[in-house]
């Protein structure tokens, strides 16, 4: 399939753009620049807003009660975009100053999954956590190196997950009633060498779209794990992707500084429709 042309959007370039998330209620895209400690918003009318969070933010999700929930340096936080106030929901690894939270997403029940990684990328130093709506935190997977993309199949029978240094997208059986995962196996090999899988998005047909850091591409796998499409990105370090727009037919792509138009935010129409983003229900 021919890759659609991605357009660069008129927003500031990021040092490490990550975590794009569409807010259906607002009709706006949120994303983060991790080392700059900034959360960005792009409204449908093109208005750009940013907030200084004072710490790295790896993932952003809408909050059902209003505002946003963040996976940040030392735990889960709430952000009120109206006034910019940050409120701690719960600490995670506050006693480990060498780690920070990275990518994350919510299931339909409103559980917020997000993982940690070592700032120096030491192998096995991270953990994948689940924040339930009652704010209880559970470690669901230990020994992670760079915890990254998370998503679910349309029927939520599967959870897809990326630990970047494994060079694969893995899949778990998922129990939507309890949020438990099991039976981990490789869904698709991705990248190799300095090219590693990063964030991901799942569309309404169950295809899995994966950003390749160092590879200047988004790769699309069918539910059977077979490569269906390669979408070229004019930046080498592609970090994540998310579907948005009124019909969820726009693919937004974040990137980091590096060769090409590194750090830019892109969008395009890939001919697929995304799943509605799930809010945190705490």
Catalytic sites, residue numbers:
198
Query: Could you tell me if 280 and 69 are in contact, meaning their C-beta atoms sit under 8 angstroms apart?
Result: yes
* Distances in whole angstroms, Cα of residue 222 to Cα of each of 187, 227, 252: 10, 6, 19
CA distance 1 to 12: 31
What's the Rg (C-alpha) of the chain? 17
- SS3 assignment, position 16: strand
CB atoms within 10 A of CB 220: 23
- SS3 assignment, position 166: helix
The answer for residues whose C-beta is within 8 angstroms of residue 174's C-beta and 6 or more apart is 107, 152, 153, 156, 157, 158, 159, 180, 181
Query: Could you tell me if 68 and 78 are in contact, meaning their C-beta atoms sit under 8 angstroms apart?
Result: yes
Which residue from 195, 136, 202, 209 is spatially nearest to 174, judged by alpha carbons? 202
């Amino acid at each position: 399939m021919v890759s659609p042309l991605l357009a660069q959007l008129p927003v500031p370039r990021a040092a490490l753009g990550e975590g794009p998330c569409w807010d259906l209620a607002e009709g706006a895209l949120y994303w983060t620049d991790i080392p700059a400690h900034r959360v960005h918003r792009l409204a449908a009318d093109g208005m750009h807003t940013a907030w200084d969070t004072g710490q790295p933010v790896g993932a952003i999700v809408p909050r059902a009660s209003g505002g946003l929930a963040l996976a940040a340096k030392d735990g889960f936080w709430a952000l009120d975009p109206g006034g910019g106030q940050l409120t701690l929901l719960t600490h995670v690894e506050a006693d480990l100053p060498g780690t920070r939270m990275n990518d994350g997403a919510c299931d339909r029940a409103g559980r917020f999954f997000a993982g940690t990684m070592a700032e120096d990328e030491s192998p096995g130093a991270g953990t994948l956590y689940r924040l339930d709506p009652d704010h209880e935190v559970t470690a669901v997977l230990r020994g992670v190196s760079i915890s990254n993309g998370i998503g679910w199949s349309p029927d939520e029978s599967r959870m897809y997950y990326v630990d970047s240094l494994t060079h694969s997208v893995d899949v778990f059986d998922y129990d939507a009633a309890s949020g438990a995962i099991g039976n981990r196996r490789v869904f698709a090999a991705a990248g190799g060498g300095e090219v590693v899988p990063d964030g991901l998005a799942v569309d309404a047909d169950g295809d899995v779209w994966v950003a390749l850091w160092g590879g200047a591409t988004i790769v699309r796998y069918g539910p059977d794990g077979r490569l269906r499409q390669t979408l070229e990105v004019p930046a080498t370090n592609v970090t994540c992707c998310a579907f948005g727009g009124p019909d969820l037919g726009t693919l937004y792509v974040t990137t980091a500084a590096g060769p090409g138009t590194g750090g830019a935010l892109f969008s395009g129409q890939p001919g697929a429709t995304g799943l509605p983003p799930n809010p945190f229900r705490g």
